[in-house]
C-alpha cells in the first residue's frame, strides 16, 4: 500500500467527510473508491473509443441484414 499526500480545497474535503460518514466508511476508503471509479471510467472510455475505431458500418449492415423482419413479442412492445 502506498501513502499519498493530496491538497484538497476545504469545501471538497468537508463534503468527502460528510459523504464518507453517510456511507459508514473512512475518508481514505471513500477517496480510494472514488479514485478507483474514475480510473475505471477512463479506462472504459479508452476501450470503447479503440473498439469503435475498429468498427465497420458495412459489417454492421451486413450483420443486421441477417435479422428477420418480424414483429416483436408482446412483452417487448412499448
How far apart CA 19 and CA 34 sit, in angstroms, is: 11
* pLDDT given for residue 16 in this prediction: 97
Model confidence band, residue 57 (pLDDT cutoffs 50, 70, 90): very high
Q: What would the mean pLDDT of 51-72 be, rounded to a whole number?
A: 93
Q: What would the mean pLDDT of 32-58 be, rounded to a whole number?
A: 96
The CA-CA-CA angle for residues 48, 54, 56, to 5°, reads: 115
Phi, psi angle pair for 47, to nearest 5°: -60, -45
How far apart CA 58 and CA 8 sit, in angstroms, is: 49
* pLDDT given for residue 55 in this prediction: 92
Amino acid at each position: 500500500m502506498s501513502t499519498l499526500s493530496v491538497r484538497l480545497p476545504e469545501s471538497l474535503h468537508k463534503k468527502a467527510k460528510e459523504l464518507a460518514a453517510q456511507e459508514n466508511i473512512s475518508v481514505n476508503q471513500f477517496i480510494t473508491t472514488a479514485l478507483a471509479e474514475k480510473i475505471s471510467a477512463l479506462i472504459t472510455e479508452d476501450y470503447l473509443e479503440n473498439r469503435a475505431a475498429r468498427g465497420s458500418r458495412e459489417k454492421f449492415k451486413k450483420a443486421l441484414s441477417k435479422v428477420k423482419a418480424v414483429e416483436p413479442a408482446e412483452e417487448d412492445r412499448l
